[in-house]
Structure 1
Amino acid sequence: MTDTTSLETKGAGGETARAFEEFLEAFEAFKETNDQRLAEVESRGASDTLVAEKLARIEETLDSTKRVADNLALKSARPHLTGGAPSTSDLAHKSAFDGYVRRGDAQRLARIEEKALSVGSGPDGGYLVPAETEAAVNRALKAISPMRAISGIRQVSGSVYKRPFATAGADTGWVAETAARSQSTAPTLAELQFPTMELYAMPAASQTLLDDTIVNIDEWLAEEVRIAFAAQEGTAFVTGDGTNKPKGLLSYDTVANGSWAWGKLGFIATGEAGAFPESDPGDKLLDLVYAAKAPYRANGTFLMSRSTVSAVRKLKDGQGNYLWQPANAPGEWPSLLGYPVAESEDMPAIGANALGIAFGDFSRGYLIVDRAGIRVLRDPYTAKPYVLFYTTKRVGGGVQDFDAIKLLKFAA
């Protein structure tokens, strides 16, 4: 008997490998064309327009082939919701939720949530999705959201997560075995608060789709909401103002790194307004890396927009080696100076005074707080003949260690 699953997996793997090979070939063409551009700039003071246009086309190919390879790798690695051995209560919840979504039968689901004393039940707040559906949404969000992929994540049951931190530590030191010890002082503590805000999506389905028993409703719902959630979250985690949304990385006060103080993010200036310096531009990236202390550099990651990646990808070191290097395998990130590069279109492009590049240990520097539970409220009336599913989750975020992340400012 033929194992169709293994054949599909092999086929998907071969397609992924081919797409990644095309990406590597495009990168070699990119280096060759960019070397030609640099040689023309050095000899004539400017590059040929046709060479610049060719380089732009190769960059588009480079980005598109990498995106295809990553999507194929993600698709082949994505687990199905039906995997594992669910408990009896999970099966009952899944069955009741399926009946609610397809037919609007809320009685069984209400009884299950009343029995569990769920805070998310009730017709006004909607009903909790099954645990495996919530897990699938969260996995998908992490896979497609750059900030969620690199930041610290904490799940809570309340509406606010509070984290104490020491503004002044207790006295410590070395002492001989029989020597007298001076009385230590208690640490001075302050508190960071991360409130969770409501994020919603409203996918629509036809009754024909809901009546089709072949369609896995849980997978359909997870697929519909994950992209909407990821887009909203990604913007909030970078530029959110903290009002009815998480406070974004770039919404905090910034200061030159030499004058850094807790509560602010330190930055390194490029020395040129809206650009890298013409001489040794890669040195500014090194300055940014070493602005972070060694414990943070060990798990460091660059964060920048695609347009900034395009500029950085052309930079070389003093020996003529490219600072940016392609990923080693599909689904992995490229590297810059040996550190991974995460792309976020919510980061500003290179411009005057733009904080265009961030570097540091985001898992220690930025915290994302998820309140447990994703709720769904079925609405068959507002958009007849379609059925709307008002889906909500609560999420918060903010900087938790102001020394863990440094910024590159394109300013004089």
Structure 2
Amino acid sequence: MAVEIKDVELVAQELQAKFEDFKSKNDKRIDAIEQEKGALAGQVETLNGKLSELENLKSDLEAELAATRRPGGGSKGKSVTEHKAAFMDFVRKGNEDGLRELEQKALQTGVDADGGYAVPEDLDRSLLNLLHDEVVMRQEATVISLSTPDYRKVVNTGGAKSAWVSETHARNATDTPTLAQIKPFMGEIYANPQATQTMLDDSFFDVESWINSELALGFSEAEEIAFTTGDGSDKPKGFLAYASTLVDDKTRPFGTLQHILSGAATGLTADAIIKLIYTLRKVHRNGAKFMMNNNTLFAARILKDKEDNYLWRPGLELGQPSMLVGYGIAENEQMPDIAADAKAIAFGNFKRGYTIVDRLGTRVLRDPYTNKPFVGFYTTKRTGGMLTDSQAIKIMQIGAPVAP
């Protein structure tokens, strides 16, 4: 059944009602006498979970509505269609002749078939689109696709100051800019989905969708971990793996993040959430979001400001997300839980702060021998990630502020 705007509106109305109920129960929990606390705490926890379910349902309905309005793609060129037909023949029957001939025509004479064959470009991009839907960091960061094995970015780490002069006044030299080259930490990710030959022989079995969905499932969690906390050893370096300090932007070296403390040894405070926002420079606050896992979001939902207003507000209009102090929230389940010294919340403009680099050219090796009667499709692709602006992302570390 096609999704209509009224479906989204009905979910939004239910979300509003549950939020009002949640606020009422939570306010009573705060003011309750000891005998009532246990029962009300359970009700608040249940409503908190229901709010998450309704948020996700509203987002899913909006995405489905957007998909129904999206125009179809254009016709594919002859070479693309030829490559795809040869690839499907290879997947279903193990026939390598067509792919080998195409790669020879493309002068890929140095490619050993034992290393697998390149996935057709449209399938490669379909996989990246699926990963975009599954990996939160892909939705929030800048993503670049390249066909070359090397990518470097030049960044200005200081200098090149400007100055004011009159029309005829001599122009003194400004500071020389300090430029640095940075490059992503690259790694090869692999998956090995399995199918029976009977499935592959079935003409009604959608091999293309099966391969992409299996690879997206296999790649997505590994990518989310790498882009968030990866150590950069044969994998992307996640933004939380970079060093952080309490030092502000004026004197902190490039490549080191700034963190603030949460105001409680093992919890969150409303004051720290608000302080985190204004630790970020105004130029980066445009387009900024919070990033945290679902458990931390539960804790943030019950926080109030000094005027007794909840910091969290549900998104009730079509296309409007729920907000925390007026900023969107990206739920990344690879963010740490709230615990002493954990970096549980990030806030910033992730498109400016972090870049993901995909090397186009996913390769598949068909293996009908290792795990009979199943046919394995050992698939590899190269992906990298790096911090590109250490002033664009701020971190909240759980802990009480240092005593003066």
Q: Using structure 1 for the length normalisation, give the TM-score.
A: 0.89
Alpha-carbon distance, 1:18 to partner? 4.9
Q: Which residue of the other structure, out of 345, 348, 363, is the alignment partner of 1:375?
A: 363
Task: Give the match for residue 33 of structure 1.
Answer: 25
* Distance change (3 Å), C-alpha of 1:301 and 1:385: same
Runs of 4+ aligned residues of structure 1 deviating over 6 Å after TM superposition are 79-82
1:270-285 mapped onto 2 (5 Å cutoff): 270-276=262-268, 281-285=269-273
In structure 2, the partner of 1:63 is 52
Compared CA separation, residues 317 and 365, structure 1 to 2 (3 A): same
Query: Kindly tell me: are residues 332 and 385 of structure 1, through their superposed partners in 2, closer, same or farther at Cα, counting changes over 3 Å?
Result: farther
Letter of the structure 2 residue corresponding to residue 48 of structure 1? K
In structure 1, distance between residues paired with 2:110 and 2:351 = 29
Label 1:77 to 1:225 Cα distance change in 2 as closer, same or farther (>3 A): farther
Match runs of 1:2-401 below 5 Å: 8-10=1-3, 18-40=10-32, 44=33, 48-75=37-64, 77=66, 83-118=73-108, 121-184=111-174, 186-258=176-248, 260-276=252-268, 281-328=269-316, 333-401=321-389
1:4 alignment counterpart: none
SS at structure 2 position matched to 1:197: strand
Decide whether aligned partners of structure 1 residues 382 and 72 sit closer, same or farther in structure 2, where only a CA change above 3 A counts: farther
Say whether the 8 Å CA contact 2:245–2:259 is kept in structure 1.
yes
Q: Determine the C-alpha separation between the residues in 1 that align with 2:202 and 2:71.
A: 18
The Cα RMSD (Å) is 2.5
Aligned-partner Cα distance in 2 for 1:363–1:272: 30
The answer to whether the 8 Å contact 2:185/2:232 transfers is: no
Conservation of the 8 A alpha-carbon contact between 2:227 and 2:385? yes
Q: Distance in 1 between matches of 2:31 and 2:200?
A: 61
Question: Which has the larger displacement, 178-187 or 219-228?
Answer: 178-187
Task: Work out whether residues 157 and 178 of structure 2, in 8 Å CA contact, stay in contact via their aligned partners in 1.
Answer: yes
- Separation of aligned partners in 2, 1:46 and 1:172: 65
1:268-298 deviation line (CA, Å, top 9, x unaligned): 112321123xxxx312111100101011011
Task: Report the alpha carbon displacement of residue 199 of structure 1 after superposing the two structures with TM.
Answer: 0.7
Following TM superposition, by how much is the alpha carbon of 1:118 offset from its aligned partner in structure 2, in angstroms?
4.6
Per-residue deviation, residues 222-268 of structure 1 (Å, max 9, x unmatched): 11111221111101111111111111111111100446332211011
Aligned length: 397
Q: TM-score, normalised by structure 2?
A: 0.90
How far has the Cα of 1:31 moved from its partner? 1.9
Equivalent pair of 1:199/1:229 in contact (CA under 8 Å): yes
Return 5+ residue gaps in structure 1 as ranges: 1-7
Residue 48 of structure 1 aligns to a residue in which SS? helix
Identity %: 38
1:318-367 CA distance string (max 9 Å, x none): 33322111234577642111111001111111111111110011101111
